[in-house]
Amino acid sequence: MTNIDFSPLFRTMIGFDRLASAMESASRADAGGYPPYNVEVTGEDKYRITMAVAGFRDSELDVQVKDTILTVTGQKQEEDKGRKFLYRGIATRGFERQFQLADYVRVAGAELRDGLLNIELVREVPEAMKPRRIEIRSDDQRVIEGRVEKAA
């Protein structure tokens, strides 16, 4: 695995230390593939995480959000007692997978259908954070109580 030095980011990007630490942890993260998942864009500011969780019931899955960490956990209940498999290719081991959510991304819902867990995400930027147009006044204008008027 290649180690990447993110220290130049800390020197030149003020206030982006959380982004840099997220990049560092992503570079160190285990790229394990169970359960497999997709992350897709479904619209402007809408996303979906789809996880293949064949064999799991909704009662055996847990989806939680704390701060900006989405955690999906699966814990299979013991049902295989007395069953004898010649070959077992469907994985039923427990898992925990975490996703770092960006600011203002919230989980809109989760649905289990046909062995796929779909988690819908929506990015909702507050009005105060959205771009706003700043009026440029000329030399012969002044601002009085929030209104632009001609200077006398």
Give tens-digit pLDDT for 41-68: 999 999 999 999 998 999 999 999 998 8
The model's pLDDT over 79-129, given as tens digits with 9 standing for 90+, comes to 767 888 899 888 778 999 999 898 889 999 999 999 999 999 999 888 877
Task: Indicate if the pLDDT at residue 37 is higher than 70.
Answer: yes
Residue 60: give the domain boundaries: 34-125
Residues 45 and 96 in one domain: yes
In whole angstroms, give the CA distance from residue 49 to residue 81.
33
Amino acid, single-letter form, for residue 29: A
Q: Which are the contacts of 112, defined by CB distance < 8 A and separation ≥ 6?
A: 53, 56, 57, 58, 61, 118
Are 35 and 95 in contact, with CB atoms under 8 Å apart? yes
Helix (H, G, I), strand (E, B) or coil at 7: helix
Q: How many domains does the chain have?
A: 2
Comparison of pLDDT for 147 and 58, the residue scoring more: 58
Query: Is residue 142 assigned to a domain?
Result: no
- Positive or negative CA dihedral for 67, 68, 74, 75? negative
Residues 45 and 6 in one domain: no
Are 95 and 34 in contact, with CB atoms under 8 Å apart? yes
Q: Which of 15, 89, 21, 100 is nearest to 6 (CA)?
A: 21
Task: Indicate if the pLDDT at residue 31 is higher than 60.
Answer: no
Residues 101 and 117 in one domain: yes
pTM of the predicted model as reported, rounded to 2 decimal places:
0.67
Neighbours of 74 (CB within 10 A): 21
- Token representation of residue 26: 């992503």
Residues 109 and 50 in one domain: yes
Residues 85 and 51 in one domain: yes
Query: Is residue 101 assigned to a domain?
Result: yes
Residues 14 and 86 in one domain: no
- Token representation of residue 57: 């019931």
Q: Which of 42, 66, 62, 43 is nearest to 117 (CA)?
A: 62
CATH number reported for the structural domain that contains residue 97 in this entry: 2.60.40.790
Query: Is residue 134 assigned to a domain?
Result: no
Helix (H, G, I), strand (E, B) or coil at 125: coil
